[in-house]
Structure 1
Amino acid sequence: MGNQACSEGCLSDPLAANFRMNAIHERLFPMYVVKVSDFLQMEGAPRPHNVLRDEGLLHEWYPGMFAIFVSHQWLGASEPDPEGKQVEVLRSVLRGFVDGSLQVEPHVASMVYSGFVPTWPSSMSSYIAHGFLFFDWFAIPQITARQEGVNEQETKSEAAKAVQSIPAYVEACSLFLVLAPELLHIETKKLCNYSTWLSRGWCRAELWLWLLSNRADTSVVIVFSATEAEFMVQSDWQDNSIAGGDFTVPADRAVVCKLGEAAAAGKQRHLQSRGPIDAFRFFLAQKQKFLDSQPEPWNEEEFVARLRFESMEDAARNRDGMNGLLCGVYAGDVRLVRRLVDLQADVNRRVRGLGEFGLYDGMTPLIIAARSNQEPEVLRTLIDLRADVGIRVKHTGLGPAGLLRTAAHVQVLLDARADLHSSELPMGLNPLSSIAGHATAEAVAAMLAARCSPNPPLRGVGCGPLQAIAVFARGKRDAATKALMLMEARADLNVRACPSGFFQRLCQSARVRAALWGFDSCATKTRFLASLPGITPLGMAALVGDEALAELFLEAGAEVIPNDRGDTPDVLAAANHHTRLAASLAVVHF
């Protein structure tokens, strides 16, 4: 992700960032961490706080310490990882980081769409090797892990203080790591993965407390398997507000909202005093949306003062970065949008230099309004003010129709007679294929009702909507619902990807690198591109490790078809260490 000051797309010096930070949250209980080197020597299920304390393996955090915050979903009711499968993945990943065999790679969307691609600096190997790990089961006294002779009420009190201190623990760390391999919950037998992690209220709260911390770089690393780690794509946090997750205890939502308000206020003060101004305006303009609170309309004087413009005329004339019109769009205020356009703001002005927020060079306010899931009235207002509904981003070929989010967005573009069918190079994705992975299921249904073909001509990246759903399924709980809709609309379940032009050359280059380095040993994105030609929706689901989608495709009658390299779905799953899925697909294969 690489927010704010990391202008060259790499993680800034983690220790230096710690020293520059001003703490927002109070620490009510000491922050206990475990040495990475000690953790790598452990085996089996994770041992609780009291055991590690007695073994002398807990260390109290101090300023300047490089600590990794591990956010994860529990796989048991009374302990986080009863079989030790989750922490074994973590150990494998940390070993890979330390010896340099594993790099954190950008999301496919960042590689394809954006000019802002974060990278993993080589210095991280040393930081991690000599670093420490914050893992809740290690750090927080647990009443479920009973210890003879210890007062239960005292343990409860300490645990409560530690839980209340989680915001302080998050902001004290130097790296935020999401541990989300595909594993089954030990009691419910339900699949736990990145999408379920993202749906959990406290997991999402931890994420947002990290994003709203006063650090130069708030990159988030997601661990999908023992060999696959990537930077979180911006849309995954922008589309999931801090209080919008699922809470076991409903009252926790209010607690999280209060924490978010405090963190957002601290972030605002920090950016206002130190900049950059684009980040300040980006977060402030949509603060209420991020916090899931009722928006408070600004009058013109408040808009100018709070967003640090000299006047409304200055906001309208401003052409660079987070200009006045973009701030009005993100605030969702159609009155301000109309006023700014009256003052000569350019409704078709293409943005530049905002890739760190997921805004690709060449996007217009209308495209951004669709992409950021603004209310349909914002899109309608921009169109009324002569926003071009057919405009495309040059380096992707995508326009507003290819980045919309909801059924209401579809209707707005239909009313404006926008083209919902054709594609342009270099991506070559028609709007339905483009939105399939990101938009709501209702939006996909609306596109199908508008006679968008579920089997469009393939060019550019060469993928249809079913492959697109598989690529972007991680983090999307409705992926299977959308896939089922497309199959009911007679989408070809066995369609083979057919990259052309620039993407064909990219895939050919990746196949050469995969042959030189070994398919199982090459970088994850190299493996992805090498696998792309000829891959089916089932193959794509196997490659990204989506068990639910793979099962759905098989139940619907998907054939086991190799890609152009000759890799069958079980081979693709095994290459990315999705071991359980690989085993089940191997049975189907043979």
Structure 2
Amino acid sequence: MYTVALHTLLGMSKVETHEQLKAQDLLVEFRKNTGQAAFLSHEWLDIGHPDAECKQMRVLQDALKHMMGNLHSIPVDLVSEGFGEGVKPLPTSKLSGPLFFWYDYFSCPQMDDEWSRGVLLDAINSIPAYVDECSFFFALVPVLEHPNHVLTPSSWHHRGWCRLERTCRELSKDHSWIMVKSPTEIELITSATASMLAGSGPVGEGLFSVEEDRLKLGPVLRIVLKRKLLSLLKSQNWPGYRALLNQQAMMLRGMDCDFFSPEVPEGLGQDGQGQIDPSPSRVAGFLHQNGFR
């Protein structure tokens, strides 16, 4: 996983490609023993370049300096606070130590040749693994004007790629993430409800500049759902398992993907009423699949 170190990112005056940074020996192959990583999700300002005038990057640079120099903790947003019991702000001390950033334009090949396209496809399929590898997830969503549109937190929530990245985070072990709206307006999001109320929705119903990307992401999202369902099943977190199992129709909407149906072992259930009826009836199948005895 290619990243850039914090000091490199803070010193940037322009946003350069993966190839340019690699040629300057400014990319770092991240390893857990080197520090912590942060995943940067953002909306591109233009289809040809994410941030040609470095507007987004300057907001991030100033926000990081503010977090590390002036804030003791990152406050929880109001929606997450309302829906979460005992949710606490994130101490900024957790950002201390070596920190490395994954950013698509830095971390993935941008050249339009056969080899780069193959590596880029591997990187797309690895997005869930990259998100998992990162201790932090930043959504960089300042309000910025563009000749054809205005970028806002809401427009980020409507982008298909951004929806995938956010969903990967919300289905990972640490589902919290940090929203950077300005150098001083920074919030910790801990509830998926906050995303839904902000206008987010299924990845397949998001906006894509390249329409073919919509179907490319279907298998990636299905793998994320499968992994989370198996994890919930293994830990016998029945409320979480049932909720996610029955949300698949909504989460995979707009994508040509089959639902994932885990094999629930016989007798593994919650209500203590004995073995599951092995008959092929739809009711018995539903009860078995949802972990009821």
Same fold (TM over 0.5): yes
Per the alignment, residue 301 of structure 1 pairs with 284
User: Does the aligned pair in 1 maintain the 2:153–2:181 contact within 8 Å?
Assistant: yes
| Distance of aligned partners of 1:300 and 1:100 in 2 relative to their CA distance in 1, 3 Å threshold | farther
Q: What does 1:102-501 align with in structure 2 at a 5 Å threshold?
A: 103-112=73-82, 114-126=84-96, 129-143=97-111, 152-185=113-146, 187-188=147-148, 190-213=149-172, 215=173, 217-232=174-189, 233-238=191-196, 240-292=201-253, 299-310=282-293
For 1:202-248, what per-residue CA distance to the aligned partner results, in whole angstroms no more than 9, with x for missing partners? 111111122233x1x21121111000111234224445122220122
On the 8 A contact 1:67/1:133 being kept in 2, the answer is yes
Matching residue's letter, 1:305: H
- Whichever residue aligns with residue 124 of structure 2, its letter is V
C-alpha contact 1:167 1:209 (8 A) present in aligned 2? yes
Check if 1:60 corresponds to 2:19: no
In structure 2, what is the Cα distance between the partners aligned to 1:85 and 1:290? 32
| CA deviation profile, 1:540-564 (whole Å, cap 9, x unmatched) | xxxxxxxxxxxxxxxxxxxxxxxxx
Deviations 1:129-182, CA, capped at 9 Å, x for gaps: 4111001111112127xxxxxxx4444443343334333322222211100000
- What code does the residue aligned with 2:170 have? L
> What is the aligned-residue RMSD (CA, Å)?
2.7
The question of whether the paired residues in 1 share the 8 Å contact of 2:80 and 2:194 is answered with no
On the 8 A contact 2:67/2:92 being kept in 1, the answer is no
Which residue is 1:79 aligned to?
A: 49
Q: How many residues are matched?
A: 266
CA distance in 1, matches of 2:195, 2:150: 21
Query: CA separation in 2, counterparts of 1:253 and 1:124?
Result: 35
Unaligned runs of 5+ in 1: 1-30, 145-151, 311-590
- Please, which of 48, 64, 88 is the counterpart of residue 58 of structure 2? 88
Distance 1:295 1:142 in 2: 33
SS of the residue corresponding to residue 309 of structure 1 reads coil
Instruction: Return the letter of the residue paired with 1:228.
Output: E
2:138, 2:180 within 8 Å by CA — same for their partners in 1?
Answer: yes
Q: Distance in 1 between matches of 2:69 and 2:237?
A: 35
The verdict on how the C-alpha distance between 1:51 and 1:160 changes in structure 2, with shifts beyond 3 A counting, is same
Whether the 8 Å contact between 2:4 and 2:26 is mirrored in structure 1 is: yes
Structure 1-normalised TM-score?
0.42
Within 2, Cα distance between the matches of 1:122 and 1:248?
Answer: 35
Alpha-carbon separation, structure 2, partners of 1:274 and 1:198: 31
Q: Distance in 1 between matches of 2:10 and 2:215?
A: 38
Matches of 2:116 and 2:62, distance apart in 1: 32
Quote how far apart the aligned CAs of 1:274 are: 2.3
2:237 and 2:160 map into 1 onto residues whose CA distance is 30
Quote the residue 2:14 is aligned against.
Answer: 45
Give the TM-score normalised by the residue count of structure 2. 0.80
- Which structure: larger Rg? 1
Q: Distance in 2 between matches of 1:165 and 1:198?
A: 21
**Uncovered stretches (5+) of structure 2, i.e. residues with no partner:** 261-280
What percent identity do the matched residue pairs reach? 29
RCO comparison, higher one (Cα < 8 Å, 6+) = 2
Residue identity opposite 1:115 in structure 2:
E
Distance in 2 (alpha carbons) for counterparts of 1:112 and 1:58: 40
